[in-house]
Chains A and B, each alone.
Chain A
């Protein structure tokens, strides 16, 4: 970045949080940096300017305006933002604040709108079904997904421990036709916002409204050795392989590894650990088994707050699950089946469940929709992007909370956001200003095994911190989660 924009006058300063002058100089020399590297030994600057996470990159305009403050690095987005600083381009999506109130829109009603929904997961499915329910048949609703089926992903954990079969948690998206929704199976190859067309390998879909709900792509190959050593906790094939491995597991060391942030469904790795611990007890191998959970987080589900985090840690401890927070993952050594930390220590793991790195789908990179975080930035209330008639919901978005952290990636939010988007589109088509906005409320179950679950929920848009309450675990919550699964598969699929 420094070398690229130096001639434009951009100044880059690397600030070592809690680092000394000596370590800063060593770091500067190690990377051959031409920009200043300064120590912030007591963390004063770090605490004042960042959201507490490293790395954190902050771009400041000459007038002192903060143009972005992000943890994740997306080179394309950063380059665009910095280039805009010097080219004085048209207002960028990066200038949009997540918490700006919805702008009243006066749009002439449309005789027949064409609404394209990308993605048949939680957000896409709710969007398409609700649009179809609320709009007359003169309006076209199209849903595109590369998969022919909708997978109810929360139930992968039950599949992992043998309590579900794949066919029980999938529904064909071809059923959408019976609801008057045009379904196309295919990979989205291009999103042309200027021409307002989405292309797949075989067709082109013009749109008046576009709702992007493509989710997060899983990128296990971003971790060398993942395919050889780890089983993917987050997809159907991986969960099935975990089930097979657990059935033949006779004792040893099981690990749940979160190598990087962010990841969707913040509770899932912890639920996996709890369910596996219960499974080992049932199988009579618990005393011969160690269970480890490695995460870069400082607590389980950090955005939910310390009440929830502490409660989950208490259960981890009570179950004898070895919890390694603030774990800085370095690498996997498949030949020795080791998980290696940045401090050089290695833990040998016999059965490793991995949370693969998550990223926005590649098709979005060329679309102009991604923000500097590498995800789609949307208005926190209306879910609108900076492009007219283009919305995004669910895991593909990044929404900054008042406390500087980002809204977790979870189906409950995709579901609620989809309903708001539908209201926005329906109101606009019917020629009235939309009053409805997303309020940041969400909840989730935390499966504990032994037929029990916990439940937490609250208001994530609360200031200064999300206000989330944790309910006492019990069988009722587990059965509530089962009931929700059944309702979901009946209601939306």
Chain B
């Protein structure tokens, strides 16, 4: 693991996320797994 931005807090478990606002190629109708990565 490594940190890219120590000021970020991110979403918490239980929070609501409007997938439609994220401009991602998903429908979100059956669950979405977002995997954030960074090349070394």
Chain A positions near chain B (C-beta within 8 angstroms): 1-2, 8-19, 23, 27, 36, 38, 40, 43, 45-69, 71-72, 82, 85-86, 94-95, 97-98, 260-261, 296-299, 302, 326, 328, 330, 342-343, 400, 402-404, 464
27 contacts between A and B (CB under 8 A): A9-B30, A10-B30, A11-B32, A13-B32, A14-B35, A15-B34, A15-B35, A43-B5, A45-B24, A47-B7, A50-B8, A52-B8, A53-B3, A54-B4, A56-B36, A57-B35, A58-B11, A60-B28, A62-B28, A62-B31, A66-B13, A72-B1, A296-B1, A298-B6, A343-B40, A400-B12, A404-B9
Interface contact A57-B33, CB-CB below 8 Å: yes
Q: Given A16-B37, A328-B40, do A62 and B8 touch, yes or no (CB 8 Å)?
A: no
List of B residues within 8 angstroms of A36 by Cβ: 24-26
Distance to closest chain A CB from B19 (angstroms):
6
Query: Within the assembled complex, what's the spacing in Å between the Cα atoms of A58 and B22?
Result: 13
Interface contact A59-B18, CB-CB below 8 Å: no
Query: Within the assembled complex, what's the spacing in Å between the Cα atoms of A98 and B12?
Result: 10
Interface contact A47-B36, CB-CB below 8 Å: no
Q: Which residue of A lies closest to B16 (CB)?
A: A64
Interface contact B10-A51, CB-CB below 8 Å: yes
Query: Within the assembled complex, what's the spacing in Å between the Cα atoms of A402 and B35?
Result: 22
Chain B positions near chain A (C-beta within 8 angstroms): 1-19, 22, 24-40
Query: Within the assembled complex, what's the spacing in Å between the Cα atoms of A16 and B39?
Result: 8
List of B residues within 8 angstroms of A69 by Cβ: 10-13
Query: Within the assembled complex, what's the spacing in Å between the Cα atoms of A54 and B36?
Result: 6
List of B residues within 8 angstroms of A12 by Cβ: 32-33, 35
Distance to closest chain B CB from A302 (angstroms):
7
Interface contact A13-B31, CB-CB below 8 Å: no
Query: Within the assembled complex, what's the spacing in Å between the Cα atoms of A23 and B39?
Result: 8
Interface contact B33-A52, CB-CB below 8 Å: no
Query: Within the assembled complex, what's the spacing in Å between the Cα atoms of A261 and B18?
Result: 31
Interface contact B33-A82, CB-CB below 8 Å: yes
Query: Within the assembled complex, what's the spacing in Å between the Cα atoms of A472 and B26?
Result: 52
Among B9, B13, B18, B30, point to the contact of A62 (Cβ < 8 A): B30
List of A residues within 8 angstroms of B15 by Cβ: 65-66
List of A residues within 8 angstroms of B39 by Cβ: 16, 19, 23, 27
Interface contact A66-B36, CB-CB below 8 Å: no
Interface contact A64-B19, CB-CB below 8 Å: yes
Distance to closest chain A CB from B38 (angstroms):
4
Interface contact A298-B3, CB-CB below 8 Å: yes
Q: Given A9-B31, A55-B37, do A302 and B5 touch, yes or no (CB 8 Å)?
A: no
In the A-B complex, the 6 residue pairs with the smallest Cβ-Cβ separation, listed nearest first, are A9-B30, A52-B8, A342-B40, A51-B10, A52-B5, A56-B36
